[in-house]
Amino acid sequence: MQIIIVGCGNVGGMLVRLLRAEGHSITVIDTEEDVISGVVNSLDCMGIVGNGASFQVQREAGIEHADLLIAVTSSDERNLLCCLIAKKAGNCHTIARVRDPIYKREIGYIKEELGLSMVINPEEAAAGEAARLLKFPSASSIETFAKGRAELVRIRVESGSRLAEKRLSELPAELREGVLVGIVQRGDEIHIPNGSFILRAGDEISLIGSQKNMLRFFKRLGLPTARVRSAFIIGCGDTGFYLAEQLLSMGIGVKIFDRDRARCETLSELLPDALIINGDGTEKELLLEEGLKDAEAFVALTNLDEENIMLSMYAKSISSAKRITRVHRVSYDEIIGAMDLGSILYPRNITANRIVRYVRGMAGAARDGIESLYRLADGRVEITEFKVRDDSALRGRTLMEMKFKPGVLIACIIRGNEIIIPGGHDSIGQGDNVIVVTTMSVGGIGELFS
């Protein structure tokens, strides 16, 4: 596809790298000449120095032939204006990053009136991800498929678990019912397991199933299934506010720590049901005094990565709280991953990945029934959701009759509201949605077969 990206900061730069790697033709617009030079020299894309909200600049970038314009400048208003001009000039799809909370209640109206394909608020997206994790505290990450009807939940196999040192085929039927182990990460190795695969302590496994079956699996495994009842939030900017708002609506008690007195007074008005503490959340005496040892969740959201990391490590040392740590810099992700900081929020990644998923859906709509496409484990695993058409090679045959390529797993069949974890005797019908896990890039259903 022909894609124009306006604004080449952290998110814009990541989008260029991700979308260019997937074969899209990218043109970047930014007001800073050195930024454009850096991107053009390091990545195979076009670059234009100028104001992306200018009709002439957009014409120079090829807006009349573009499929999509993504506006991620530092200004919400400029992003919206860029999209409005692009819609009028090129009638293409448009995506705007909008961060100011003042637009939150109006975003549906803005999206409809400007004809936007997607609006993303990075802070609200990060808060939503954190809230999902606190709703299901045993998981380290959660992805949703088929419009939320199926989930991919990642957990770590602990020593002494009923899963450890077991072949998948030997797991008790009560554990395997309605849930499939789709991906196993063991150190740097990625596996799409079959029934003979043996799970080891320390493995990171990704489970696929409905939320109902996932909860049942966790309960039978002896892992917590209930949402947390209380949460500490350290640092309460926009992400903290959105998170507190969501947690309170779920009936979860919230304690907020922030150094800024004026901010605390504002939060007291906006969040009357939260306990707001004007104090330094990095001081261990204050945390202990407020009951950190008994907290069920601890979310570090200060503006400094180093503070968040140290806070998370301290919380681990004195409590069993579910920990979520915000980290802005992704260059140290391998080191951070070895620290056991609980679930890590990378706001830049969340924003870029949400946009990339939308782009993949656009591209997939024109190809062999692809509804959505996700890449996990640094791009080494691809999860594709297909819509089975009348002429599909999958239709009407049982799975045991099909010869799939190595590294291909039919993980889930969605038939209406029914979520099916398939066996060899299951067949796929017209109109079904099928989730496929594979270690290769799939352009269509025909590429699954040997």
pLDDT along the chain (450 residues), means of 10: 92 89 90 91 90 94 94 95 92 92 85 90 92 85 79 88 90 84 89 90 90 86 82 94 94 94 94 94 92 93 92 92 87 69 85 86 64 73 79 72 81 85 83 83 62
Question: What is the 8-class DSSP label of residue 127?
Answer: H
Nearest to 437 by CA among 191, 249, 83: 191
pLDDT at 152: 87
What H or E segment, with its residue span, contains residue 36? Answer: helix 33-42
pLDDT at 435: 87
Q: How far apart are the first and last CA of the chain?
A: 29
Instruction: Please state whether 271 falls in left (phi above 0), alpha (psi between -120 and 50) or beta.
Output: beta
Q: Which domains does the chain have, with CATH numbers?
A: 2-120 (3.40.50.720), 127-221 (3.30.70.1450), 230-345 (3.40.50.720), 368-448 (3.30.70.1450)
Asked whether 179 and 214 are in contact (CB, 8 A), the reply is yes
Q: What does residue 203 show for φ and ψ, rounded to 5 degrees?
A: -65, 140
Instruction: Give 335's contacts (C-beta < 8 A, 6+ positions apart).
Output: none
3-state DSSP assignment of residue 303? coil
Q: Which residue has the tokens 């970038």?
A: 61
Helices (H), 136-283: 173-176, 211-221, 238-249, 261-270
Asked whether 74 and 67 are in contact (CB, 8 A), the reply is no
Nearest to 299 by CA among 281, 318, 278, 317: 281
Asked whether 427 and 396 are in contact (CB, 8 A), the reply is yes
Largest CA distance in the chain: 67
d(CA 173, CA 25) in angstroms, rounded, equals: 49
d(CA 67, CA 362) in angstroms, rounded, equals: 9
Q: Which residue has the tokens 């004195």?
A: 318
d(CA 351, CA 120) in angstroms, rounded, equals: 7
pLDDT at 41: 87
Cα–Cα–Cα angle for 427, 432, 436, rounded to 5 degrees: 75
Instruction: Give 232's contacts (C-beta < 8 A, 6+ positions apart).
Output: 255, 257, 281, 287, 290, 292, 295, 297, 298, 299, 315, 321
Contacts 24+ apart (CB under 8 A), 91-95: 92/63, 92/66, 92/67, 92/68, 93/67, 93/68, 93/69, 93/117, 93/362, 94/68, 94/69, 94/70, 94/118, 95/68, 95/69, 95/70, 95/71, 95/119, 95/120, 95/355, 95/358
Asked whether 223 and 138 are in contact (CB, 8 A), the reply is yes
Q: Which residue has the tokens 């939260």?
A: 274
pLDDT at 298: 96
Cα–Cα–Cα angle for 188, 128, 303, rounded to 5 degrees: 75
pTM above 0.85, yes or no: no
Asked whether 153 and 205 are in contact (CB, 8 A), the reply is no
> Amino acid letter at 361?
G
Asked whether 448 and 404 are in contact (CB, 8 A), the reply is yes
